[in-house]
Structure formats: structure tokens, C-alpha cells
Amino acid sequence: MKQKKQVFFAFLMIFFMGATIVFAQNDGAEDLDAQYATELPKVGTLAPDFKMQTPDGKPFQFSKVAKGKTVVLDFWASWCPDCRKDAPEVVRMYDAYHRKGVEFIGISMDTDVAAWKNAIEKYAISYPQASELKTFRETDIAKAYGVNWIPSLVVIGPDGKVKLSTVMSSKVDQYLKNLVSSSK
């Protein structure tokens, strides 16, 4: 009986060690892109230009801001729980990488200007914002960029081509970390 217990505990130990290795390789995080980012623009495609309005109703054109720069498009909405959870991380990335030449543009899927403005203030979002103020699924921008899930992030290079499309801010952070460290 003692030998069976030892074999059983050895088996359990091997099982948990294997599970720990698999968990560590994935950093414990599920890659949500396979599920939610399938329609986002593919790496190497030209980023579509767009015109929208700022929270104050002023015109905003992407190509005028983005020309020759690395830009992160942050697709979000004030009503989106995952967006609210992710907002502090995107703001942190903006604070870290904007001074190194990376532009951020928030693309809101809000229909209520007051809610949009309140969220900008609440999360201390200081990068430019634009919206069509239409229902998420009715926006031209969601169609042009294949955004079926928010938050979504698209990194566009100075050449106007997509460098990364994801629903995971951690991937954008890693991409930007590598970008700024390689440009030193």
C-alpha cells in the first residue's frame, strides 16, 4: 500500500510540474486574438484613412496626424467593461511611448458625447480622440478596420502599413518596447 501511495504522489508531482511548465509558457494568459482579432487588418496592409469628429465636434482626419509616424489606434467605448479595465494600461503606454515619438489615437464607439467625455476625464486620457457617434456595428471605421470586438488596438508604422493588430494591450506594449529599444 505504501508503494502505491508513493507512485500516486510521484504521478501527481509529475502532473503538476507539467501543468506548471505549460502555464508558464503561456504566461497564464489566453491568446484572445485567435478568437476576437480575426478580422482586424493583417500585418503589411495599408491602414485605411478616415475622417471623424473630436469630442468637441471638430473634424479629425487620420492621415494628417499619422503621416510618417508610428500610431496606435485604440478602439474603445465608455460603456465597454473590458475597455474600462484596459484604459489605465493604454494611458500608461501613451505616457511611456508618446515622448519617444509614438502617437496614440482613441477611436470611440460611443453614441453619447457626454458619456464619452466623462470617460476621457475619468481615465485621464490625453491622446486625441475621434468618433462617428454611431452604434458600434454601424460605424464605417469598424467596417474599414474589421473591428468586431473592443478593446482592439492597431499599430501602424511610419510607412502607413499595419504592424500589429490585437485585442491584447500587452502585445502592443511588447511591440512598442522592442520598437523603441531597437531605434536607440
CB atoms within 10 A of CB 127: 18
In a shared domain, residues 151 and 63: yes
167 and 79, same domain (yes or no): yes
- Distance between CA atoms of residues 45 and 92, nearest Å: 27
Same domain, 55 and 80: yes
Same domain, residue pair 66 and 120: yes
- According to the model, what pLDDT value does residue 36 have? 79
The verdict on 52 and 109 lying in the same domain is yes
Report the predicted TM-score, pTM, of the whole model to 2 decimal places: 0.82
Helix (H, G, I), strand (E, B) or coil at 49: coil
Domain count, the chain: 2
Range(s) of the domain holding residue 159: 31-182
**Are residues 79 and 48 in contact, defined by beta-carbon separation less than 8 angstroms?**
no
Contact 94, 124 (CB under 8 A): no
**CATH code of the domain containing 154:** 3.40.30.10
Q: What is the pLDDT along the chain (184 residues), one digit of tens a residue?
A: 666 555 444 443 444 444 433 333 344 457 888 877 888 999 999 999 999 999 999 999 999 989 999 999 999 999 999 999 999 999 999 999 999 999 999 999 999 999 999 999 999 999 999 999 999 889 999 999 999 999 999 999 999 999 999 999 999 999 999 999 987 6
Q: Are residues 105 and 164 in the same domain?
A: yes
Phi, psi angles (nearest 5°) of residue 95: -60, -35
Please indicate, yes or no, whether residues 92 and 170 belong to a single structural domain of this protein.
yes
Q: What is the pLDDT of residue 68?
A: 93
Residue 105 CB neighbours (<10 A): 21
